[in-house]
Amino acid sequence: MTEPDLASRCGICGLDAAPVLLQQCFRCSTRFHLNPTNRAGIDCGDAVLGSVPGMEFGVEYYCTPCIGALNDEIVEATAAQARLDAVERRPGWRA
């Protein structure tokens, strides 16, 4: 389980990058530029504070396309939950 210690390439912008500057997306496993300190540099994704129990630091990394997709999923899940709530509030549904 050793990562190759060679220059690698960002799967988002396609530019070469030192492996230390790349992070693997938790969702699609693409390696992308992550600039955790927000200093000048390329940023092709973001670190998201997760709430997964037992995960060290609880930080998850997502590339920019996945952040957009995750936001869409959250919007859809929220809408679906709202529909469920409406059904469950019907009188007699849980009789």
CA distance linking residue 42 with residue 15, whole number of Å: 10
Nearer of residues 13 and 47 to Zn ion, judged by Cβ: 13
> Which residue bears the tokens 């492996």?
19
Nearer of residues 23 and 44 to Zn ion, judged by Cβ: 44
The answer to whether 34 contacts Zn ion (rule: CB under 5 A) is no
CB 61 within 8 A of CB 26: yes
Q: How far is the CB of 2 from Zn ion (least distance, A)?
A: 23
The answer to whether 13 contacts Zn ion (rule: CB under 5 A) is yes
The answer to whether 63 contacts Zn ion (rule: CB under 5 A) is yes
Q: Return the structure tokens found at 44.
A: 């092709």
The answer to whether 25 contacts Zn ion (rule: CB under 5 A) is yes
Nearest partner of 26 among 41, 93, 57, 15, judged by Cα: 57
The answer to whether 33 contacts Zn ion (rule: CB under 5 A) is yes
